[in-house]
C-alpha cells in the first residue's frame, strides 16, 4: 500500500488523474482529470480507497490518526486557493464531503454539503455574502444532512416521512405556504433549532459545533456508508467486490442557492434512456444539488427542446412553461452555452456518454462531477454503435462497451399495441426508464420484496424513492413516483437496473398511511393492478397485455459485429419448434441440446409412456413404444424443420422413470382406472421405481442400456423425421446424443443400437441421412477417460449441470438448503450452478477437450449446461477451445456478445 493517502486538486492542477480510479474512485479520479483539462472544478482533495480498507481493518481512531497530517494540510490547500478559512467567522470556508467508488454506485453512499457551519460561522457567512437567507438555508440543510448521515436520524415507522421533512412541513403548514423557498429567514432559523432538538431527542447526541470534528465525523460516515445495507445489496447486484472500497472527496463548497443567478443541476451528454444523441438534463434556480435528485421541487429542463418535450408530456401550456419552467437555455443563455461546450468536451475526452453535476454560483459555472453515465440496455447498444459510426471508438471498444447481461432488457416484452390503445390512461409522468410493466400496487420496498417472493408481480408506487428502496425496486416490475424528474433517484437507479420507471407523475397523490393512491379521482389500493409504459410515461388502469420485443437496427448491427469477431459459435437449448424459431431469430446456429423428456407429458403421450413403464416384458414395452413413435417423430419433424440447414442435437431420454408416474393417491387412482389395473399394482410399480438418490440412479444412458428399445424408438423418430423432411426438400442435420456416460462401454452399447436401427430404417425408406453420434460429458469419470470416449463418440457436449453436481458432490435439487449460508459466509463466491467453476469443473472440461482431441483431432466440443449463457463462463469456453456454447433462446444474444468479447480480449 502506498504511503500517500490524500491527493489534492484545484486551480488546473491535480496530483491524480483519470486512470487512477482504482485508488481515487471514479469521482476523485475525474475531479483530478477535469482540473487537468481545464474544466472549472472547486478545489479539494481525495482520500484513497486503500484508506477505506484500512478503516475497516484498523478502526476509526487509528485511521483518523494516520490521516490527520495529510488531511489538515489539504484543508490548508483549499483555504489558500479559495482565500477563505475553515471555521473562520469573518471569512468562512465550507466544504462538501462525497463518496466515490471505483465503479459508480449512484446514490448508494452518503454525501454531506455545507460542512463547517455552526451558530457563529453562519452569522459570518451571512455577513460575508450579505445574504442571510442563503446562510440560514445552507445551515438548516447542513444540520439535516449531517443528522441523517452522520448521526443516524431515520423515520421511526416506515409509514412516516423523514423526521426533518416532517418538521419542515409543520413550519410551512403554520403559515400556509407550499414551497421550501417561501420560508422566511426567521423560519429557516427556527428549523435549525428544531432540527437540533429532534436530533438530541431521537439519538441522544449533541450536534457537533467544531468544524474539524464535523469533518472527521463526515469522512468516517462516508467510509461507514460503504458497508450500509443498500450499498452491500447494490454491490451484490452489480458484482462489485467489497475490497474495492470507496474514496472520500472533500471539496470547497460552491453554492447554487445564493439567489436567482445561482442554480444547480444534473445533465447527460446523451439520452440515458434511449441513447439518442441529445444533450439533456435538469436544473433548479436557487437550490442545492439534493433538491434536484430528491424530487422535492419540480426541476426544469436544461435545453429548450427538452423543456418543450417535458411540457407536452406533462400537459403544461406553452405560456405557463415559458413563464414558470423555462429551460436553462432560455433563462441563462450564457451559462447554458458554457455548459454545452464543456459537456461536449467531456464526452469527447472520455469517448463515452457523460453524466455530470454542476453548480452555478452567482453567474459562475462549476463542475462537481463527471462519470460515464448509467444507461438502459437499449441506450447502451445505441450509444456504442453511434460512437462507433461517429469514429469516436473502434469496433473492439464498441463490443466491450456493451455488457452482455444488459442485452436481456432489449428482449423484454413491450405492450401489445391494440391492448394499449384500449387501456384506460390514468395519468402521465416522465418516461424515466423504458419498458412495459404491470403488477399489483405496493407502497413500500419491503412489501415489494415480500410480495415478489410470494410469486406476485408488483409495481412499487412511491412519492419518491430513496436509496433505501433499492431491494424493493429490484423486486418490482416497475416503479411509479409522484415526484422527481428524469435525474431523480428513482429514474437513475431504474435505468441502471433496466427496470421500467415512470417518475414525476404529479397528478398522483400517494397516502402511505391508508396505502392508497388517488389518480384523477380513481382511488387504487395496495394489491390493485396498474400498468406502466416507461417509454411514454403513461400509467394505465389494470393489466395491459404485453408481447415480445422487436429488436432494433442497432441491436442487429451489434450482432453483426459479434459475428465478425467471434470464434465460438452459439447454439440454443430448445425442445419445441417455437423456441427453435425464436433462437434462430436471435442468431443461434443450431440446437446444442434438444431434451426429449418434456415431450412425453401431454395426454396421449403420457398414457403410452406409462404403459411402457408398467409393461413387464420387452414385448409389452415395445408395443407401448410403437404408440409413442409417431408422436416423437412429429416432435422432431417440427424442430428439425424450424432449424433447417443447421445441426439439431437430440439427446436420448435422460430422466428417471419415476418422474412419469403419479406419486399421490388421487393421481394413482386415475392412472389405475385409465390403464385398467388395480391401484395396488400402480403403487407397487411406483415403489419399485423409487430411488434414494434419483439424481445418481436409473437415469441417462442407464435407461437406454437397460431398455434399448427406448433408444431404438427415439432413433427411428429422429431419423424418420429427417427422412421425411429430406423427401420434402429440406436439409436436416440430426445429431444423436447419449447422456450421462461414465464408461466407454455404455456409449458402445448405445451406439450399436442406434447404428443398427438407422441402417434398417435407411434400407426400408431407401433414403440415407448423414447423422452423427456424440455424447455428453457430465460425469467426472467421462472427463477423465475422454481420450477413450472420443475414439467412439463423434462429438462432446459438456453437461455442466450434472458435471458441477458430481464434481462438488452438491445435489442440484438440494443446494438451496445450504447455498445462502455458503454465500453469506463467503465459502462460495457465487452459485456454481449459475457461474461455471473454472478452477475445478473447468479443469475437467479443459482436460477432457485436450484428451478427446488427442484421439480424434477434429472432435467438436460444446457446452449445453446452464453455464452456456452466462458471460464469464462463455468466455472460459472460448479460452479452452470449445467449438460452441448452447443456451436458452433469450440468452443467445448475451452469449454471442460474450463470445465476441472473449475473442477480442
Q: Name the minimum Å distance from CB 744 to Mg ion.
A: 18
10 Å Cβ neighbour count for 729?
7
Site string for ligand PEP, 638-657 (x = CB under 6 A): ----------------x---
Q: Name the minimum Å distance from CB 43 to ligand PEP.
A: 58
Count of residues that interact with ligand PEP, criterion CB under 6 A: 10
Question: Cβ neighbours of residue 475 under 8 Å, at least 6 residues apart?
Answer: 448, 449, 451, 452, 453, 458
Selection from 873, 812, 879, 880 nearest residue 849 by Cα: 880
Instruction: Give the separation between CA 313 and CA 405, rounded to whole angstroms.
Output: 31
Instruction: Give the separation between CA 436 and CA 500, rounded to whole angstroms.
Output: 6
**Could you tell me if residue 841 is left (phi over 0), alpha (psi between -120 and 50 degrees) or otherwise beta?**
alpha
Instruction: Give the separation between CA 28 and CA 8, rounded to whole angstroms.
Output: 9
Inter-residue contact 802 to 780 (CB < 8 Å)? no
> CB-wise, 219 or 803, nearer to ligand PEP?
803
> CB-wise, 355 or 802, nearer to Mg ion?
802
Positions 846 through 875 that interact with ligand PEP (CB under 6 A): 864-865
Among 137, 579, 802, 866, binds Mg ion (CB under 5 A): 802
- Of 178-186, 344-352, 624-632, 770-778, the window that binds Mg ion (rule: CB under 5 A) is 770-778
Among 799, 842, 852, 862, binds ligand PEP (CB under 6 A): 799
- Of 226-234, 403-411, 458-466, 774-782, the window that binds Mg ion (rule: CB under 5 A) is 774-782
Site string for Mg ion, 40-69 (x = CB under 5 A): ------------------------------
- Beta bridge pairs of residue 674: none
> CB-wise, 252 or 741, nearer to Mg ion?
741
Which residues are annotated binding-site positions for Mg(2+)? 778, 802
Question: Cβ neighbours of residue 381 under 8 Å, at least 6 residues apart?
Answer: 275, 402, 407, 410, 552, 554, 555, 558
- Of 13-21, 380-388, 663-671, 795-803, the window that binds ligand PEP (rule: CB under 6 A) is 795-803
Does 864 qualify as catalytic in the annotation? yes
Verify binding: residue 802, ligand PEP, rule CB under 6 A.
Answer: yes
Inter-residue contact 852 to 881 (CB < 8 Å)? no
Which residues are annotated binding-site positions? 595, 651, 778, 799-802
- Of 21-29, 156-164, 668-676, 791-799, the window that binds Mg ion (rule: CB under 5 A) is 791-799
Cell of 353: 456518454
Instruction: Give the separation between CA 700 and CA 652, rounded to whole angstroms.
Output: 8
Selection from 216, 200, 209 nearest residue 75 by Cα: 216
Site string for Mg ion, 607-646 (x = CB under 5 A): ----------------------------------------
> Which option in Mg ion, ligand PEP, none does residue 42 bind, with CB closer than 5 to 8 A by kind?
none
> Which option in Mg ion, ligand PEP, none does residue 504 bind, with CB closer than 5 to 8 A by kind?
none
Q: Name the minimum Å distance from CB 513 to ligand PEP.
A: 49
Inter-residue contact 862 to 592 (CB < 8 Å)? yes
**Could you tell me if residue 862 is left (phi over 0), alpha (psi between -120 and 50 degrees) or otherwise beta?**
beta
Q: Name the minimum Å distance from CB 314 to Mg ion.
A: 55
Verify binding: residue 799, Mg ion, rule CB under 5 A.
Answer: yes
> CB-wise, 472 or 799, nearer to ligand PEP?
799
Verify binding: residue 862, Mg ion, rule CB under 5 A.
Answer: no
Q: Which of 562, 864, 877, 887 is catalytic?
A: 864
> CB-wise, 271 or 654, nearer to ligand PEP?
654
Question: Cβ neighbours of residue 789 under 8 Å, at least 6 residues apart?
Answer: 741, 744, 747, 775, 777, 782, 796, 852
- Of 93-101, 213-221, 413-421, 798-806, the window that binds ligand PEP (rule: CB under 6 A) is 798-806
Q: Name the minimum Å distance from CB 570 to ligand PEP.
A: 16
- Of 4-12, 251-259, 402-410, 797-805, the window that binds ligand PEP (rule: CB under 6 A) is 797-805
Among 224, 778, 837, 870, binds ligand PEP (CB under 6 A): 778
Q: Name the minimum Å distance from CB 866 to ligand PEP.
A: 7
Site string for ligand PEP, 96-125 (x = CB under 6 A): ------------------------------
Inter-residue contact 510 to 462 (CB < 8 Å)? yes
Helix 60-82 to helix 211-225 angle (10° resolution) is 120
Q: Is 596 exposed, middle or buried (CB count within 10 Å of its CB: 0-12, 13-18, 19+)?
A: buried
Inter-residue contact 401 to 392 (CB < 8 Å)? no
> CB-wise, 372 or 800, nearer to ligand PEP?
800
Q: Name the minimum Å distance from CB 779 to Mg ion.
A: 9
Instruction: Give the separation between CA 143 and CA 348, rounded to whole angstroms.
Output: 39
Degrees (nearest 5) of the Cα angle 753, 754, 758? 120
Among 190, 801, 811, 838, binds ligand PEP (CB under 6 A): 801
- Beta bridge pairs of residue 502: 431, 480
> CB-wise, 82 or 863, nearer to Mg ion?
863
Which residues are annotated binding-site positions for substrate? 595, 651, 778, 799-802
> CB-wise, 508 or 782, nearer to ligand PEP?
782
Rg (CA), the chain: 32
Instruction: Give the separation between CA 247 and CA 27, rounded to whole angstroms.
Output: 8
Selection from 295, 540, 356, 306 nearest residue 437 by Cα: 540
Q: Name the minimum Å distance from CB 155 to ligand PEP.
A: 47
> Which option in ligand PEP, Mg ion, none does residue 726 bind, with CB closer than 5 to 8 A by kind?
none
- Beta bridge pairs of residue 282: 266, 301
**Could you tell me if residue 730 is left (phi over 0), alpha (psi between -120 and 50 degrees) or otherwise beta?**
beta
Site string for ligand PEP, 718-737 (x = CB under 6 A): --------------------
> CB-wise, 709 or 778, nearer to ligand PEP?
778
Q: Name the minimum Å distance from CB 778 to Mg ion.
A: 5
Site string for ligand PEP, 586-625 (x = CB under 6 A): -------x-x------------------------------
Instruction: Give the separation between CA 199 and CA 189, rounded to whole angstroms.
Output: 16
Cell of 273: 434512456
Q: Name the minimum Å distance from CB 802 to Mg ion.
A: 4
Q: Name the minimum Å distance from CB 835 to Mg ion.
A: 18
The runs of H, that is alpha helices, within 204-247 are 211-225, 229-238
Instruction: Give the separation between CA 232 and CA 220, rounded to whole angstroms.
Output: 17
Question: Cβ neighbours of residue 716 under 8 Å, at least 6 residues apart?
Answer: 629, 633, 757, 761
> CB-wise, 168 or 782, nearer to ligand PEP?
782
Q: Which of 489, 658, 733, 867 is catalytic?
A: 489
Selection from 633, 790, 791, 647 nearest residue 721 by Cα: 633
Residue 292: CA count within 13 A, CB half-sphere? 27
> CB-wise, 487 or 785, nearer to ligand PEP?
785
Length of the chain: 905
Positions 698 through 717 that interact with Mg ion (CB under 5 A): none
Selection from 477, 434, 469 nearest residue 452 by Cα: 477
Binding site for Mg ion (CB under 5 A): 778, 799, 802
The residues that are catalytic are: 489, 864
Binding site for ligand PEP (CB under 6 A): 593, 595, 654, 778, 799-802, 864-865
Amino acid at each position: 500500500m502506498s504511503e500517500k493517502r490524500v491527493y489534492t486538486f484545484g486551480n488546473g492542477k491535480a496530483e491524480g488523474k483519470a486512470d487512477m480510479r482504482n485508488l481515487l474512485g471514479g469521482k476523485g479520479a475525474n475531479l483530478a482529470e477535469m482540473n487537468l483539462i481545464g474544466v472549472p472544478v472547486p478545489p479539494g482533495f481525495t482520500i484513497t480507497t486503500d484508506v477505506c480498507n484500512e478503516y475497516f481493518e484498523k478502526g476509526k481512531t487509528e485511521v483518523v490518526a494516520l490521516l490527520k497530517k495529510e488531511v489538515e494540510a489539504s484543508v490548508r490547500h483549499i483555504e489558500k486557493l479559495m482565500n477563505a478559512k475553515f471555521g473562520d467567522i469573518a471569512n468562512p470556508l465550507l466544504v462538501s464531503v462525497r463518496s466515490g467508488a471505483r465503479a459508480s454506485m449512484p446514490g448508494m453512499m452518503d454525501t454531506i454539503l455545507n460542512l463547517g457551519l455552526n451558530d457563529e460561522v453562519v452569522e459570518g457567512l451571512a455577513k460575508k455574502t450579505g445574504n442571510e437567507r442563503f446562510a440560514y438555508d445552507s445551515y438548516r440543510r447542513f444540520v439535516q444532512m449531517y443528522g441523517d448521515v452522520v448521526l443516524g436520524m431515520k423515520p421511526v415507522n416506515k409509514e412516516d416521512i423523514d423526521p426533518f421533512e416532517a418538521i419542515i412541513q409543520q413550519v410551512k403548514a403554520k403559515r400556509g405556504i407550499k414551497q421550501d423557498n417561501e420560508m422566511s429567514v426567521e423560519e429557516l432559523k427556527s428549523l435549525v433549532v428544531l432540527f437540533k432538538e429532534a436530533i438530541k431527542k431521537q439519538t441522544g447526541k449533541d450536534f457537533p459545533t467544531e468544524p474539524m470534528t464535523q469533518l472527521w465525523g463526515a469522512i468516517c460516515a462516508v467510509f461507514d456508508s460503504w458497508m450500509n445495507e443498500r450499498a452491500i445489496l447494490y454491490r451484490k447486484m452489480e458484482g462489485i467486490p467489497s475490497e474495492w472500497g470507496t474514496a472520500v472527496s472533500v471539496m470547497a463548497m460552491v453554492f447554487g442557492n445564493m439567489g436567482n443567478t445561482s442554480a444547480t443541476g444534473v445533465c447527460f451528454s446523451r439520452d440515458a434512456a434511449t441513447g439518442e444523441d441529445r444533450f439533456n438534463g435538469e436544473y433548479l434556480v436557487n437550490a442545492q444539488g439534493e433538491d434536484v435528485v430528491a424530487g422535492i421541487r419540480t426541476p426544469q429542463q436544461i435545453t429548450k427542446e427538452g423543456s418543450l418535450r417535458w411540457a407536452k408530456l406533462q400537459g403544461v401550456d406553452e405560456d405557463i412553461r415559458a413563464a414558470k419552467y423555462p429551460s436553462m437555455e432560455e433563462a441563462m443563455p450564457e451559462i447554458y452555452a458554457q455548459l454545452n461546450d464543456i459537456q461536449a468536451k467531456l464526452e469527447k475526452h472520455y469517448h463515452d456518454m457523460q453524466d455530470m453535476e454542476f453548480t452555478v454560483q452567482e453567474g459562475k459555472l462549476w463542475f462537481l462531477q463527471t462519470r460515464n453515465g448509467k444507461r438502459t440496455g437499449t441506450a447502451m447498444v445505441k450509444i456504442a454503435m453511434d460512437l462507433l459510426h461517429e469514429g469516436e471508438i473502434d469496433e473492439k471498444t464498441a463490443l466491450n462497451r456493451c455488457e452482455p447481461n444488459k442485452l436481456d432488457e432489449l428482449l423484454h416484452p413491450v405492450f401489445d399495441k391494440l391492448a394499449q390503445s384500449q387501456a384506460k390512461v390514468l395519468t402521465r409522468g416522465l418516461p424515466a426508464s423504458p419498458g412495459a410493466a404491470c403488477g399489483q400496487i405496493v407502497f413500500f420496498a419491503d412489501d415489494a420484496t415480500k410480495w415478489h417472493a410470494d410469486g406476485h408481480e408488483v409495481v412499487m408506487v412511491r412519492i419518491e424513492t430513496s436509496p433505501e428502496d433499492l431491494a424493493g425496486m429490484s423486486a418490482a416490475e416497475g416503479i411509479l413516483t409522484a415526484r422527481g424528474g428524469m435525474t431523480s433517484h428513482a429514474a437513475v437507479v431504474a435505468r441502471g437496473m433496466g427496470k421500467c420507471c415512470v417518475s414525476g407523475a404529479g397528478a398522483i397523490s400517494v397516502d402511505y398511511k391508508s396505502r392508497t393512491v388517488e389518480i384523477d379521482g380513481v382511488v387504487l389500493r395496495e394489491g390493485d393492478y396498474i400498468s406502466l409504459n416507461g417509454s411514454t410515461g403513461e400509467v394505465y388502469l389494470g393489466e395491459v397485455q404485453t408481447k415480445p420485443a422487436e429488436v432494433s437496427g442497432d441491436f442487429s448491427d451489434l450482432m453483426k459485429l459479434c459475428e465478425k469477431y467471434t470464434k465460438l459459435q452459439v447454439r440454443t437449448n430448445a425442445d419445441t419448434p417455437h423456441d427453435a424459431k425464436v433462437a434462430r431469430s436471435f442468431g443461434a446456429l443450431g440446437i446444442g441440446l434438444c431434451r426429449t423428456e418434456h415431450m412425453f407429458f401431454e395426454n396421449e403421450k403420457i398414457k403410452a409412456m406409462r404403459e411402457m413403464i408398467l409393461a413387464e416384458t420387452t414385448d409389452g414395452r415395445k408395443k407401448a413404444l410403437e404408440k409413442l413413435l409417431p408422436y416423437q417423430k412429429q416432435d422432431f419433424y417440427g424442430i428439425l424443420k424450424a432449424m433447417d440447414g443447421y445441426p439439431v442435437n437430440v439427446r436420448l431420454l435422460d430422466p428417471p422413470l419415476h418422474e412419469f408416474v403419479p406419486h399421490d393417491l388421487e393421481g394413482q387412482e386415475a392412472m389405475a382406472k385409465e390403464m385398467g389395473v388395480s391401484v395396488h399394482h400402480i403403487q407397487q410399480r411406483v415403489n419399485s421405481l423409487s430411488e434414494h438418490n434419483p439424481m445418481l440412479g436409473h437415469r441417462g444412458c442407464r435407461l437406454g442400456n437397460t431398455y434399448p428399445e427406448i433408444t431404438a424408438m427415439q432413433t427411428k423418430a429422429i431419423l424418420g423425421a429427417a427422412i421425411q423432411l429430406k423427401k420434402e426438400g429440406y436439409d436436416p442435420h440430426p445429431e444423436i446424443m447419449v447422456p450421462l456416460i461414465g464408461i466407454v462401454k455404455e456409449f458402445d452399447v448405445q451406439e450399436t443400437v442406434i447404428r443398427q436401427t438407422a441402417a434398417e430404417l435407411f434400407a426400408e425408406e431407401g433414403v440415407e441421412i448423414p447423422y452423427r453420434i456424440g455424447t455428453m460429458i457430465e460425469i467426472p469419470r467421462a472427463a477423465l477417460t475422454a481420450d477413450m470416449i472420443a475414439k467412439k463418440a463423434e462429438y462432446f457436449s459438456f453437461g455442466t449441470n450434472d458435471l458441477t453436481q458430481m464434481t462438488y458432490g452438491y445435489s442440484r435439487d438440494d443446494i438451496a438448503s445450504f447455498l445462502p449460508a455458503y454465500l453469506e459466509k463467503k465459502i462460495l463466491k457465487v452459485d456454481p450452478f449459475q457461474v461455471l467453476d473454472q478452477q475445478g469443473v473447468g479443469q475437467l472440461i479443459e482436460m477432457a477437450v485436450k484428451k478427446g482431441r488427442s484421439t480424434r483431432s477434429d472432435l467438436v466440443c460444446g457446452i449445453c449446461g446452464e453455464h452456456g449463457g452466462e458471460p464469464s463462463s462463455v468466455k472460459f469456453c472460448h479460452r479452452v477451445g470449445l467449438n460452441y456454447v448452447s443456451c436458452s433462446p433469450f440468452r443467445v444474444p448475451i452469449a454471442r456478445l460474450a463470445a465476441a468479447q472473449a475473442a477480442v480480449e
